[in-house]
Structure 1
Amino acid sequence: VEGAAEHAIPFSRVKDAERLRDRIDEILARGGPASAVVVGGGYSGVELACNLKDRFGDMADVSLVHRGDRCLEPAVDYNRDSGARRMASLGVRALMRTGVESVGQGTITLKGEDGELREEACDVCVWTAGVRASDQAEALGLETTDEGRVRVSPQLRVSGQQRVYCLGDMADCKDALSDRAGATAQVALAQADAVAWNIHADITGGVPVNFRYHALGEMLTLGSAAASLASPLFGFNAKGQLAH
């Protein structure tokens, strides 16, 4: 997207968070009306939009821009609804089926589903959409997807390799019984157990296992004193201060 690399703040590394913190402090110190735009309606986007609005309060308008029909598409229904309700209660403007054409110095140009372009003021733009994996996999000569993730077997073996495994955000991992597993810490920890078992099987001549994910639940931080927690496995849901 034109201007995104120069004017939008990514949100994947510690230094990105530090850069965003400094920008927030600048805006708060300056005072007066301000506008913040979060691009991407996944977990990071919704949590960030809520926390930005919570931090800025009435002095800043916060918008979330998402190409899809609804935010938190991979989330469980309870957390998806909680996230939408929390954004609405805080006054976050959720723009669905909307893309970003360009990001400039203090402006952002949006494109709605009708194809109409509109330029809006934007004091800070945070980009959480379309996150790619590290380029280290390609540098090592491993087979990767268009998103840069390493192709792996159901046992998490790297494609074309017999004794190399990959897990976490880098792996294009599909659960043995479902679609691709999410890029979350919970999934990575479960993958670690499967990889440890399979490495031991390689060494001892044991039987390797396919990765199978059992979701224990998920949590969202939706502001300084608000959150949402859902665990279909244990039949437990909570929101607000209790979940926080």
Structure 2
Amino acid sequence: MKSIQKPIVIVGAGFAGMTVALNLKNLNPSLPILVVDSESKFIFKPLMYEVLSKEIRIWEATPKFANIFSDAGITFLKNCLTKISFKENILEFSDELKLSYQYLVICTGSIPNSFFIKGVEENCYFFNDFHDLNKLKSFLTKSQKTSSHKKLFIVGGGPSGIELACKIQDIFTDQFQISLIEKSNEILSRNKIFNREQAEIALEKRKINILLNSTVKEVSKTEISISSEDGITSLDKDIVIWTAGVKPNLSYLETDYITKKYGRILVNNNLQIENHNNCFALGDISIISGMEELPITAQVAMQEGKHLAKNLALLIQGKDPLPFEFQDNGEMISLGIGEASISGLGVTLSGKLAFEARRLIYASKLPDINESIKSASSWIFQKKSIFKKFF
């Protein structure tokens, strides 16, 4: 393999960045790879719901970057990117540090999108990372000590909103009167039909109110204003959880590189940024030309990361990169404590067995192999009776 003079710098250590770094190091152990992230721990977002319900422990979903990368021979730096100078191949960070690179991979993920709706930032809870989780958990726990049937609204009928609604209802039983607000005419509008049907059953069983064709106009300290076919209605609320969408985390980038239509970085099918063949964008912040309908999911980010690792290895050898192709491996959704729904590759499964399968699949995908083994072992030990029953 050929060597390079400057490091490959990967900014953002989520699913995309993590996958690129670890796969590339496996392909060429001699490559100098630097990973930069503003956090010190990986956030395994699909398992945040189980941390909230205490079905798993927090360490199972938050391995430390230092452990992950040092074991792989990769350098990790905790810092925040503030500017990219593409012509000079230089990165600038919040502490005035400057780094040069030979190849750059940016995959800084997403942040909640409030859509400039009045009061959302100030008066809503979010569920995008473990800071949000701890803040929400603290409020919900304190609420147990006061009157029951508090009015809780979840905005967004996608997977995050559905999973939260079912978990909270199962954890706190009758403590909250939960309403789910969705702007379209059905929940999980972009998801598999089987999972949508199972989610509808789960919500109905838990007596969670669903408000379809409804949009939020404003959130105050005491009320939420909702627009629907019946006009605008103001309802009393105790808490609003915002899961209505995300936007790319691109505060460090000039707007010239961001598409007006999608608000993300346009890349070609080799995942390269236009006019900068040594720079790549992956995951939530990018959109591939000709593949605009790809969902913003961990599955897509990981497949992009694995493919880019192969392309970088080819480029370093002086070979042409290969076009990215997405393979839909299906989707999984948690539907309350101990229950889930899985749909993909011709298989549909729901209920308790689906939850156990989902848990084991995610355990196997944890980025730090040591943590993955511990997590899977912990799960198997707790659930061995399940295997005796079904296998």
TM-score, length basis structure 2? 0.58
Distance 1:172 1:203 in 2: 24
1:18 to 134, 137, 161: 134
By how many angstroms is 1:119 displaced? Answer: 1.3
SS in 2 for 1:220: strand
The answer on whether the counterparts of 1:145 and 1:172 sit within 8 Å (CA) in structure 2 is no
Distance 1:55 1:96 in 2: 25
By how many angstroms is 1:23 displaced? Answer: 1.1
Distance 1:150 1:23 in 2: 36
Q: How does 1:82-231 map to 2 (within 5 A)?
A: 82-114=198-230, 116-138=231-253, 143-146=257-260, 148-173=263-288, 179-231=292-344
Distance 1:9 1:148 in 2: 24
By how many angstroms is 1:198 displaced? Answer: 1.5
> Hey, what does 1:243 align to over in structure 2?
354
Distance 1:130 1:181 in 2: 15
By how many angstroms is 1:86 displaced? Answer: 0.9
By how many angstroms is 1:224 displaced? Answer: 0.9
The answer on whether the counterparts of 2:148 and 2:174 sit within 8 Å (CA) in structure 1 is no
Q: How does 1:36-47 map to 2 (within 5 A)?
A: 36-47=152-163
Letter in 2 for 1:87: L
What is the total number of aligned residue pairs between the two structures? Answer: 238
Looking at CA atoms only, which structure, 1 or 2, has the larger radius of gyration? Answer: 2
Distance 1:118 1:98 in 2: 10
> Hey, what does 2:113 align to over in structure 1?
none
SS in 2 for 1:163: strand
Distance 2:152 2:259 in 1: 32
What is the root-mean-square deviation in Å for CA atoms of aligned residues? 1.8
Distance 1:110 1:88 in 2: 22
By how many angstroms is 1:156 displaced? Answer: 1.0
Letter in 2 for 1:236: V
Distance 1:167 1:137 in 2: 15
By how many angstroms is 1:142 displaced? Answer: 6.4
> Hey, what does 2:118 align to over in structure 1?
2
2:197 to 81, 84, 88: 81
Distance 2:350 2:193 in 1: 13
Question: Identical aligned pairs, as a percentage?
Answer: 28
Distance 2:252 2:204 in 1: 40
SS in 1 for 2:173: helix
Deviations 1:2-58 (A, max 9, x none): 111110112212211111111111211213220111111111111111112222212
Stretches of structure 2 that go unaligned for 5 or more consecutive residues are 1-116, 356-391
SS in 2 for 1:196: helix
SS in 1 for 2:352: coil
Deviations 1:96-141 (A, max 9, x none): 1100111111321111134x111112111011113111134526x6
Deviations 1:182-210 (A, max 9, x none): 22111111101211122122222323222
Distance 1:55 1:106 in 2: 24
TM-score, length basis structure 1? 0.91
Structure 1 residues 184, 225: closer, same or farther in 2, change over 3 A?
same
In the alignment, structure 1 residue 66 sits paired with structure 2 residue 182: yes
Distance 1:113 1:138 in 2: 40
SS in 2 for 1:162: strand
The answer on whether the counterparts of 1:99 and 1:111 sit within 8 Å (CA) in structure 2 is yes
Query: Once structures 1 and 2 are overlaid, which stretch shifts more, 16-25 or 150-159?
Result: 150-159
> Hey, what does 2:19 align to over in structure 1?
none
